[in-house]
Amino acid sequence: MSNLVLDAIKGRRSAVRFESTSVEEEKLKTVLEAGRWSPSWLNKQPWNFIIITDKSIKEKLSEVVPTVFVKGLREAPVCIAVVADTTVDQYHFVEAGAVATQNMALAAHSLGLHSCWIGIFDVKNQKKSSENRVREILEVPKTHRAIALLPIGYTRQENLKAERKTLDQIVYQNRFGNKT
């Protein structure tokens, strides 16, 4: 069965290298709208999005994220930081930020853009974690947690592929371990 949403989900790939071509303002706004319309517990909408285009800030961020993402973060013309206000939703802010990130990644893909989800949330909230270093760089208030960075642009890579397990490997009926 063909489905536009499933096709977009299957077609989205993470790009870790980007061209310097700027992202059109209308496309960026559409990506942000996809984040804004994400579901959240009781419609709390705890997320905020920080648009980062300043090269010096992207350089600082690239120094605190896992190494595989460094070049892409520096190269992408725009990066969106997804942060969530824990005072608005103290129990589900991580899921809300994650689903907003996914919506924006899918919207970027639907517009011919590429992205790369850089998860930075630190469950233990350690002082020297990537998350807290990102929060310092972006001057995020203590009431907010940083969930992800999403560099967006046009990729320099070709043939981005991803393998997936089969449904038989991951789906159970009624209880864990009971094959369908």
pLDDT digit string (tens) for the chain, length 180 residues:
789 889 889 889 989 899 999 999 999 999 999 999 999 999 999 999 999 999 999 999 999 998 788 999 999 999 999 999 999 999 999 999 999 999 999 999 999 999 999 999 999 999 999 999 999 999 999 999 999 999 999 998 876 778 899 999 999 999 999 986
Rg (CA), the chain: 17
Q: 45: which residues sit within 8 A by CB, 6+ positions away?
A: 36, 88, 96
User: What pLDDT is recorded for position 69?
Assistant: 86
How many helices (H) and strands (E) in the chain? 7, 5
In this structure, what token pair is assigned to residue 157? 């890579």
Rounded to the nearest 5°, which phi and psi values hold at 14? Answer: -80, 130
Does the domain spanning 4-170 belong to CATH 1.10.357.10? Answer: no
Q: Phi-psi category of 179—alpha, beta or left, where left has phi over 0 and alpha has psi -120 to 50? A: beta
Q: Check if the beta carbon of residue 114 is closer than 8 Å to that of residue 41.
A: no
Q: Check if the beta carbon of residue 149 is closer than 8 Å to that of residue 104.
A: no
Tell which residue, 3, 130, 128, 6, has the closest CA to residue 68: 130
Q: Phi-psi category of 43—alpha, beta or left, where left has phi over 0 and alpha has psi -120 to 50? A: left
In this structure, what token pair is assigned to residue 64? 């605190």
User: What pLDDT is recorded for position 58?
Assistant: 97
pTM over 0.85: yes
3-state SS assignment for residue 84: strand
147's enclosing H/E stretch is strand 144-153
Pairing of strands 118-119, 144-153: antiparallel
